Structure 1
């Protein structure tokens, strides 16, 4: 008798008459949709790690490790009525997900929310230890190179410059201006702000990290400029978490950049019961946590409508929003681009920079926004 393939085996997990929802990816979007549906459906969250790390809080956690106590959240804390499978998804069919350990998880509705490929440790205490190590690295250094002038690099350079003004910070970016995803006015204001904090910004230069140091503290840029620094942090873009989908039933549902093509209801084109949310979608516009949360809430609403057998005309439509971006600059200041104006300083800083929306995000996840005891 021929050996059955994994696609023919009965699923190990699931039950619940048409209401089995599987979410792959426990980042900003995936964690919120799992939390939102756990009392309406039989929810299983598949994630490579046991926690949700609020991404826009990570840079503050590097300069202040205790900040991570509130921003690194065990999935179990908010997912009180769902299953958690700590593993990597490696394949999917029209009804099941296969994990790296060989576990099969059956679904009626599937949500892909794998965002960007970021190799984080499996356990929360390991992630907290990483922040502690980064903090010690910053404290021990007299001079630091930050590579990458997107929001991550800019925010990290600003955090270090504000908390450790005695340290020499150099920001190296290969583009013509900082924060290229927003307007030049915001870029210029940010550059001026960094200069006031004595951050040395080098534009249109790169550093080949594998050849950057010969054991000395010298980093050589593409313009053959030598930068003396005790350590560096790499803040360049991470690849999309979609490479694993290239051999699955969704291989024809990706664009040339590896993003999943979705319709107005956030369903993957050609699949009525599979949705994609967050950074992995081909939705035009800035990829931001705020928009990923919007995706999650709209997709959750649409899954409820489908589970209840209501007409598709009732499904919510996701409309890309006008650009509204706030990039924090240390503990008090920020640069903000709104549809009709660009601001920098304390006013936008009051919106984001003090708490970095951590309390607000915890509240959205049904958790105490202020104090956490572990």
Structure 2
């Protein structure tokens, strides 16, 4: 199935999911000369670190999708994995196509609401258009209510207020503290300070009522919504930045006994899925106690591919070790907060390191393509 002959007879690695972990694994398999197939439901990698800016800045979305085939050729297959047949070592795609594997790397990531996530069968063109359509909705709205004050919600509110400083932007969050709980308290406080400096209004310690019945991503003038504490808010546009969950649909039936309560796959120190020496979990779907980040997915991929190579060559396997939390929040293109190896960073460094380009250069370089 791969685009090149394998240096090791009988080895064919199937990588399920073409997110950050998936493309890192595929590139390392390619560089080692190992035969592989990368499977994803889209035909282009989504650099979703930049998805929020693609929601507010016209013409930006095209930079956030990078075609797989130009990088991986015939080693890429577009399709949705319906199930894994561990007995016969094959994955089964919607429509019935089967792909054999000697080793399997599961990189299915997390799923969640658009625009933070875009996990659907789609072409490059339709994916870009989905974001351009949301840009139009944001532009039409005089006021925007961002639901959820984790890291995604914080960045979303900052992006809107930076691009459209005269719009009213309100962020509602069920807890008193903003951003990821893995961040240092001082960094979380700083994120709040930046939002307030930009003019974002905060409603903390309250939840919206009837969330499932609300219409998101569609501008409608003067919508009224209520919180669980009786506060009424009026807005033109609702954006949901909550509810991310592990995307386990591709493997749930085959690995039910190896799954944690949240759907992630239990792994050992080598990132092998519990009970399977030839199956690895990488990125958000691996049950590893650390923040779910693109950076960590890349580290996982390096360990998984190294261990596949080592296992077939009879060498010792490598362990994965979590480190101190490194996390950067882009607060619009002109500001940012974060920490590196547990140390709080100055805002200007985060702005230079992440906020201006959202690390797009890194993904285009990894995919060996030129950014438009």
TM-score by structure 2 length?
Answer: 0.89
CA distance in 2, matches of 1:331, 1:216: 29
Distance 1:183 1:263, change over 3 A: same
Q: Partner residue of 2:198?
A: 197
* Pairwise CA distance, 1:216: 5.1
CA distance in 1, matches of 2:180, 2:229: 21
Asked whether the equivalents of residues 117 and 238 of structure 1 are also in contact (C-alpha less than 8 Å), the reply is yes
Asked whether the equivalents of residues 149 and 172 of structure 2 are also in contact (C-alpha less than 8 Å), the reply is yes
* Pairwise CA distance, 1:65: 3.7
Q: Partner residue of 2:107?
A: 113
CA distance in 2, matches of 1:344, 1:323: 16
Q: Partner residue of 2:355?
A: 353
Asked whether the equivalents of residues 217 and 230 of structure 1 are also in contact (C-alpha less than 8 Å), the reply is yes
* Pairwise CA distance, 1:149: 0.7
Distance 1:348 1:83, change over 3 A: closer
1:31 aligns with 2:23: yes
SS at match of 1:146: strand
Asked whether the equivalents of residues 110 and 247 of structure 2 are also in contact (C-alpha less than 8 Å), the reply is yes
Q: Partner residue of 2:264?
A: 259
* Pairwise CA distance, 1:338: 3.1
CA distance in 1, matches of 2:305, 2:74: 16
CA distance in 2, matches of 1:170, 1:77: 41
Distance 1:36 1:81, change over 3 A: farther
* Pairwise CA distance, 1:244: 4.3
CA distance in 2, matches of 1:233, 1:188: 23
* Pairwise CA distance, 1:83: 3.4
Between 264-273 and 156-165, the greater mean CA deviation after superposition:
264-273
1:90 aligns with 2:83: yes
Between 132-141 and 255-264, the greater mean CA deviation after superposition:
255-264
Asked whether the equivalents of residues 147 and 238 of structure 2 are also in contact (C-alpha less than 8 Å), the reply is yes
1:227 aligns with 2:233: yes
SS at match of 1:258: coil
CA distance in 1, matches of 2:344, 2:15: 37
Q: Partner residue of 2:141?
A: 141
Return 5+ residue gaps in structure 2 as ranges.
113-118
Asked whether the equivalents of residues 24 and 89 of structure 1 are also in contact (C-alpha less than 8 Å), the reply is no
Between 101-110 and 117-126, the greater mean CA deviation after superposition:
117-126
CA distance in 2, matches of 1:359, 1:244: 30
SS at match of 2:153: helix
* Pairwise CA distance, 1:196: 1.1
* Pairwise CA distance, 1:215: 8.6
CA distance in 1, matches of 2:281, 2:213: 38
**2:337 corresponds to which of 335, 347, 369:** 335
CA distance in 2, matches of 1:268, 1:129: 37
CA distance in 2, matches of 1:24, 1:162: 36
* Pairwise CA distance, 1:340: 4.7
* Pairwise CA distance, 1:243: 3.9
Asked whether the equivalents of residues 97 and 106 of structure 1 are also in contact (C-alpha less than 8 Å), the reply is yes
Task: Tell me the alpha carbon deviations over residues 133-160 of structure 1, each in whole angstroms, 9 at most, x when there is no partner.
Answer: 1110111000000011111111110011
SS at match of 2:73: coil
Asked whether the equivalents of residues 245 and 262 of structure 2 are also in contact (C-alpha less than 8 Å), the reply is no
Instruction: Report the aligned-residue RMSD.
Output: 2.1
**1:236 corresponds to which of 236, 242, 257:** 242
Q: When the two structures are aligned, how many residues end up with a matched partner?
A: 354
SS at match of 1:18: coil
Asked whether the equivalents of residues 81 and 250 of structure 2 are also in contact (C-alpha less than 8 Å), the reply is no
Return 5+ residue gaps in structure 1 as ranges.
1-10
